[in-house]
């Protein structure tokens, strides 16, 4: 059920929309996401969601920032779920504005299920995931004819699982800055070529935008020297060589631009 149907679905008229805000640029949120924001009474927003889209909202719209930073989670997932239910049960339209796509390494399903269990109408609006948009923003396709025919998206919060080891299979690691050294080592132990190209793309649509490149066996040292910080997407595979940020020097020592 979407928010349009929800107006007449419950006596209170409350609803929740889980809106994927895209990779951070205000222009990359979907038209449906913008429409729901304009109708919302409450917006519950993540740290990596596009903040500029909030500027045009009415002064009476309640904005609740539940953003998490590494090591600092002021709102638990249970608290966020309760917040959504509280506002919707009071008859208010609630947009849960998330970065990327609600279902790509996010907690969108948990929030949807919490709403459904309490009979609150909920709509899910897909967003452009940073796993695809961030590499594209620096000229890296996740697949390319003759170079890469598949890709895998994994979280860097945990050790990378068993993955294809060929350089023609692109690995995209989200939230993987703090575990970069360990996960690079695990990929090499599993059989991936130490000379496999790697790019770390920081803050792709923000003021700290930067690309650091190297090889699987050098990238941790290069990133440490460059003081790479989150948010960032790590791209592992031969597709990295298609980026204008890649150069022959990167094979030896890494490049930051």
Active-site positions?
A: 46, 68, 175
CB atoms within 10 A of CB 229: 14
Exposed, middle or buried by CB within 10 Å (0-12, 13-18, 19+), for 117? exposed
User: For the chain, what is the total number of helices (H) and then of strands (E)?
Assistant: 8, 11
CB atoms within 10 A of CB 91: 13
Task: For 95-163, give the DSSP string.
Answer: EEEESB-TTSSSSHHHHHHHHHHTT--EEEE----HHHHHHHHTT--S-BTTTB-EEEEEESSS---S-
Alpha carbon 22 to chain centroid, angstroms: 8
CA distance 146 to 169: 11
CA distance 4 to 16: 11
């Amino acid at each position: 059920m979407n928010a349009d149907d929800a107006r007449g679905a419950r006596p209170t008229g409350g609803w929740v929309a889980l809106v994927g805000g895209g990779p951070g640029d205000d222009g990359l949120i979907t038209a449906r996401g913008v429409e729901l924001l304009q109708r919302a009474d409450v917006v519950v927003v993540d740290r990596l969601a596009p903040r500029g889209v909030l500027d045009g909202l009415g002064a009476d719209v309640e904005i609740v920032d539940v953003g998490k930073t590494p090591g600092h989670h002021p709102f638990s997932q249970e608290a966020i779920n309760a917040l959504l239910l509280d506002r919707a049960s009071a008859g208010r339209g609630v947009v849960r504005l998330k970065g990327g796509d609600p279902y790509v390494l996010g907690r969108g399903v948990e929030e949807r299920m919490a709403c459904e269990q309490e009979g609150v109408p909920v709509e899910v609006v897909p967003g452009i995931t940073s796993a695809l948009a961030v590499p594209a923003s620096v000229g890296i396709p996740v697949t390319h004819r003759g170079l890469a025919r598949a890709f895998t998206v994994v979280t860097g919060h945990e050790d990378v699982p068993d993955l294809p080891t060929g350089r023609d299979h692109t690995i995209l690691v989200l939230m993987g800055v703090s575990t970069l050294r360990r996960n690079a080592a695990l990929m090499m132990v599993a059989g991936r070529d130490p000379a496999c190209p790697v790019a770390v793309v920081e803050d792709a649509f923000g003021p700290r935008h930067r690309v650091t490149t190297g090889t699987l066996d050098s990238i941790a040292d290069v990133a440490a020297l460059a003081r790479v910080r989150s948010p960032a997407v790590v791209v592992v595979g031969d597709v990295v060589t298609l980026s204008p940020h890649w150069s022959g020097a990167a094979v030896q020592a890494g490049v930051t631009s």
